[in-house]
Amino acid sequence: MVKIGINKYETNLVKFEINDCTFTFSFSTCIAFENKGDLVISEASQTDLAPTKSHLDKINPDKSIRISRELFEEKLKGLTL
């Protein structure tokens, strides 16, 4: 059975849960996901709006754990639910 949940934390910050994986979206862009307790979070890009940068800080303020958008996309595509 597939378990799905949706939580809106604030304007334009939404988390979707599918089974044991949580995807965090800022506006319509996935900016972080957590799978089996491992958080993967994207760096802010130069084109990100200020609210997206704030959303990233709310997920985890430690900028040293963030990965490039390109690597984040690769990990997201390779995710098995």
Q: What is the DSSP string of 8-71?
A: EEETTEEEEEETTEEEEEETTEEEEEEETTEEEEBPPPTT--HHHHHHHHHH---GGG-B-HHH
Give pTM, 2 decimals.
Answer: 0.88
Other Cβ atoms closer than 10 A to 42: 26
Give the CA diameter of the chain. Answer: 40
Span 8-32, pLDDT tens digits: 888 899 999 998 899 999 999 999 9
The domains of the chain are located at 4-77
Q: Which of 66, 62, 44 is nearest to 53 (CA)?
A: 44
The per-residue pLDDT for range 38-79, each reduced to its tens digit, is 999 999 988 888 999 999 999 999 999 999 999 999 999 999
